[in-house]
Structure 1
């Protein structure tokens, strides 16, 4: 999996001395205005505030804390959703933050609200956090916000510039390739893909991993069917896929869609796995208890969160040092009874866990 850390340095952010120069006042006067102290005329106050706004200068509790030390708090911006992946990653981040000795502040956002992401970041900066974790799985474009603390971005490109940006990923592409390879190794000529919504970075990565695995073996790439992560969308896609007599294997981008897919295939008289094998993604708790138990890949949420937080804390406490090299966690393929060789080939025992080192 990728997992490697990358660090970048942005141009210098405006300081109070810059505000003083633009406003034509002393730095002490700027401090008085921005701290709402008395003995400053209305005209001077107006000039200072206009200069601060023009330069994008922010006085927040983080700046005030510089005199006495850090606030030892980390903020998290995350999509407000009950979906297994984002929710599990947030839980992993919460556990990892506790281990670092920092306090955690979480702000949830809504899908499709770019301004909400910017507002969430601004809110955390005003609270004086020492670093920010961005766990936004959807491509909302560039976020117009200035950030002056280290940032950890998980599973996606950084949506804005910051003094230090550290990235970590769950390796969805490698996991998807492992799932596809498992089906090809069983003897299936090709594998169909039930993809997630393509605004999600994870869905794009899983689609890319599926394509990579097929291309590496010179296998045809069937048309992609796109769902919305729900079991209902998997069921709808399954009704269409079931009508294809050449279908013998499907890799679904998450377990919920795989479960809906299996239901549709079964209703259409296509037996799983005797006629069609299905692999999911995530290893949700119910995956082991459906009929048949679902073969899937398990995401290393805790390992990624722990490694990412270690890199972020290192950037906070050692701003001039280079980040430590990332350690790729193993890829776990959980083999259960929903996969087997295609019709006409002998079936191997199921119920095992296979680890691949990316």
Structure 2
């Protein structure tokens, strides 16, 4: 880039990208769109899983897709799957040659590959993960040796990056714990597409009231908690359903709990396009969000919360204080400990609020909060500004 008005050449490496759904795909697409208005942007990503909707129009953004290994659910989850993206990615990046800046999404192995390619091609390097990857490994009980290896990789990536982009103040603290210099971190927040999920979306017709869970179903969310909670309502909850939209490692646990505790009342639809998920969220009594406390994700602020708020639907959050504070401080719904009895009591309160008309009365206010506070478009603009800011100053040579 040779002046303030020159078009920068930007390459983004992310294993997830639209039309796949998920916080990472949405976040990376938002920054790509913001950068693509004035600069030359290429996204190196994967072929979407079978059954995905048509790829959205990318405008001036060039999207290059390559095959990748996926698990049975269609997710890119597991070290073999990650490497099936990362190893070819290194070659793809080198073949692209020098860029003004290379941007990488998690996991740290993708960050490392992109960092190496950036240094070999004299490109600047920006790392934009949603969280600290090895915190999740510890939470999932990975072996100590594997955690130490990946922690070393992650530390190297965050220390050598020209810029780190963080989605929350808590992530900045985790970067610092890995050895990053806070002056190299830009906090941009996290958000949701308020045009897709916003107030005014037509609810999906349903014969019975229901609670909805959308997105990843993982061990660190343990969404089977909500099946256990609804079962505790007994006769009071017999006319209420649960609807799950998404995929993940906890799908089997949710199905087992559903068959044992609520046969015929738990619908598991798998992945659906965001616009369809938005309609189901809009018609729900409440949107379910959970974080298992004490296993390394206490700092998380799930985008499920923002999607529900954008639709004006109350959130039922079960988990630690960071995620609970978002819901409580903005008046977005109910916050309870990660406990089936407490969740059941919150479900009861939300059912009463729905019957009394309070849910509908508060819908516009909740949606307005989301539009003003967690617009993904605004997040993408801030992230794009940070990426372009990384072009100023010398390249980093060390930690």
TM-score (norm 1): 0.30
Which structure is larger by alpha-carbon Rg, 1 or 2?
1
Structure (1 or 2) with the greater helix fraction: 2
TM-score (norm 2): 0.28
